[in-house]
Structure 1
Amino acid sequence: MSENNAVKLPEVIVFAGPNGSGKTTITGMAKTVGEYINADDIKRTTLCTDIEAAQKAEELREKMISEKRDFTFETVLSTDRNLLLLKKAKEQGYFVRCIYVLTANADINVARVSARQAIGGHGVPEDKIRSRYSKALALIPQLVEVCDILHVYDNTKEPFRIFKKRKDVYFHWVNKYWDFEKISDLTGINEYEN
């Protein structure tokens, strides 16, 4: 039983952030719960299209919520679809935990996706990476509201936590890419414990 979820509510863990931020790398080092739902894995194992994989992943997430089962998933979170899913989970009694991974700018993400594709990984068109980057970061204030626990990591060079929400207490840590003002603009939070 997690100290942060002492009553042991059903739990969802989401790994979120723009394409090329390093979500999959971080996921390999972090705690997961229940079934791990990833559209990329579904596509790889079922040989379906991107759209079919996304639909199957969405159906699985909805099923987990309806059955009140723990689950983990990964998302770019550049539209409100999965944000609404997290809100629904919260309304149905879930403990919502998120690890959000980003970089200092979309150029880094474009370069990483290109490098990943060059070694056989999946690619994403540059225009989509750039538009999703902006859209994903713009949704962070709403994510702050819905999460019980939220960690935001700047993965520009190596993972560095710049923001933490634990219940209704907020912390921030600055680095050379993210100062207090940028973190506050990103999260919508202006008062911190540290």
Structure 2
Amino acid sequence: MTNDPEKLLLIIAGPNGSGKSSLVYTTELSIDLDKIINPDNFARGLSDEIKDPLERYRIAMDSCEVLRNTLLEQGKSFGFETVASREDKLEFARKAKSKGYYIDFIFVTAGTPEKCYERIQSRVKMGGHDVPKDKVFSRFERTMSFLPSYLELADHADVWDNSGDHLELICTKKDGKIELTP
């Protein structure tokens, strides 16, 4: 993380089930957690009002998109969690960069789509949300294909491996250089 730039966009990305939320809530980040936009949290807040989980998640996704765009236009610092499996989030990051935002990118992977799916199934047993297996696998490949573009765009980046018993930093981008962690 960087030393408090005027306009910071923190992107926490990684495949479904990689451990993005776990990283956010167990790591000291230089941004107020209230300013990290997470569709899962929005969806949980709607659970009493909207019973259908797919409809609830669609509304949460739409609400998060509106909030991201509003904060961007206001020039506020914020962060968001994303699977990063679609071009639109990368385009959003490019737009932020063009508006003078410092891009801090945190990427978390569990190594394989099988491991991600296994982690999701554990999460479901504890009351968390499910993701269909076919979506986990297809999104995993797309997410990994976007990783180089995010690394190139970011001012600072950390890539974490969450496939084992604890998070392990794989590499960091700082001052335009990517360095592997020994």
TM-score with structure 2 setting the length: 0.89
Structure-2 residue corresponding to 1:54: 61
Structure-2 residue corresponding to 1:97: 104
Q: State the distance in 2 between where 1:74 and 1:57 align.
A: 10
Structure ranking higher on relative contact order (CA contacts 8 Å, 6+ apart): 2
Residue in structure 1 matching 2:11, options 14, 23, 31: 14
Identity of aligned residues (%): 29
Instruction: Give the gaps of 5 or more residues in structure 2.
Output: 51-55
Give the 5 Å matches for 1:1-194: 4-5=2-3, 8-28=5-25, 29-34=27-32, 35-47=35-47, 48=50, 49-157=56-164, 158-173=166-181
Amino acid at match of 1:167: D
Decide whether the 8 Å contact of 1:38 with 1:57 is kept in 2. Answer: yes
RMSD of aligned alpha carbons? 1.5
Q: State the distance in 1 between where 2:79 and 2:39 align.
A: 12
Residue 14 of structure 1: CA displacement?
A: 1.3
Q: Secondary structure at 1:78's aligned position in 2?
A: coil
Q: State the distance in 2 between where 1:132 and 1:61 align.
A: 22
TM-score with structure 1 setting the length: 0.83
Aligned length: 171
CA-to-aligned-CA distance 1:89-142 (integer Å, 9 cap, x gap): 000000110110002211100101011111210000000001111110100111
Q: State the distance in 1 between where 2:43 and 2:28 align.
A: 23
- Runs of 4+ in structure 1 deviating by more than 2 angstroms, as ranges, are none
Q: State the distance in 2 between where 1:5 and 1:79 align.
A: 29
Q: Is the alpha carbon distance of 1:128 and 1:30 closer, same or farther for their aligned partners in structure 2, counting shifts above 3 Å? A: farther
Structure-2 residue corresponding to 1:187: none
